[in-house]
Amino acid sequence: MSRTVFGVNPVLEALRAHPEQVERVVFAEGAKPHALGEIRSRAQKAHVRVDQVPRARLDAQSEGGVHQGVLAEVADFAYAELEDLLEPREGPPPLLVLLDGIQDPHNLGALIRSAHAFGARGVVIPADRAVGVTAVAAKASAGAVEHCQVARVVNLARAVESLKEAGIWTAAAVVDGDTLPWQLDLAGPSALVLGAEGKGVRPLVARTCDFRVRIPMAGALGSLNASAAGAALLYEAHRQRTQSNR
């Protein structure tokens, strides 16, 4: 099985991270060569087949997404296991992001991108009733899916329990939370739980967490969308961890 990755950054990151998994690179006829030079060079060095086709073919394969004149056929996405994210390793304490039923692949991709950018070890998503790592999610992540582990679990509440048993503090982002982000100790082993678009974190999952955190709002709107809330909380975790290492 293979998956399609489209866009300059996603294709480039696939070639950088695991060129052995890239089966073919396809350029659109008339694509600007200066923007795609590194992709072509890396593909040739990895002995990856390179083809050129009419732009309409790429439009169809990317299902209307912004492919920027290039796509790649890559081995099917390899999801991690929750246990993989809990294995002892060198570096800072684990920081994980759990997503409770995200449906929009753009939000998933943006959250994976923020998780990777701010040093999270990985992202955990439900196996059912939630979007997986699709081509659109990979494009929205700007290639971060090639570097950030994504685990799928059958039961998210049970996954929270497993994290707690492993000594990881868990915090659910909810609009009526009684804890502010900077009141949490995110410098230690931590997991942030974010809910689905419109529905938020399910009550059972929120009750299972150690903390209920809310992001204070100054404007007229009462909440942020999932990807924006995730970025804000991940930045706070990064800030605390950076300061604690000074």
DSSP 218: -
Domain shared by 86 and 71, yes or no? no
Inter-residue contact 229 to 173 (CB < 8 Å): yes
Q: What is the pLDDT averaged over residues 66-84? A: 93
Indicate yes or no: pTM above 0.85.
yes
Residue ending a domain, among 22, 48, 75, is 75
39, 56, 75: which is the final residue of a domain? 75
Q: Match 């920081």 to its residue by tokens.
A: 95
What does the pLDDT look like over 167-194, one tens digit per residue? 999 999 999 999 999 999 999 999 999 9
- Note whether 62 and 6 are within 8 A (CB): yes
pLDDT tens track for 124-134: 999 999 999 99
Residue 111 above 80 pLDDT?
A: yes
User: Percentage of the chain with pLDDT > 90?
Assistant: 80
Report whether 163 contacts 204 (CB < 8 A): no
The CATH number given to whatever domain includes residue 21 is 3.30.1330.30
Q: Check whether residue 48 and residue 109 sit in a common domain.
A: no
pLDDT at residue number 33 = 66
| Domain of residue 165, residue span | 82-244
Please state, in angstroms and rounded to a whole number, the distance separating the CA atoms of residues 231 and 1.
Answer: 32
Half-sphere exposure of 239 (CA within 13 A, CB side): 10
* Count of C-beta atoms within a 10 Å radius of residue 157: 18
Examine the domain organization and report whether 40 and 60 are in the same domain.
yes
Question: Are 124 and 225 found together in one domain?
Answer: yes
CATH number at residue 141: 3.40.1280.10
Domain count, the chain: 2
Question: Which of 75, 100, 124 is a domain's end point?
Answer: 75
Domain check: are 70 and 93 in the same one?
no
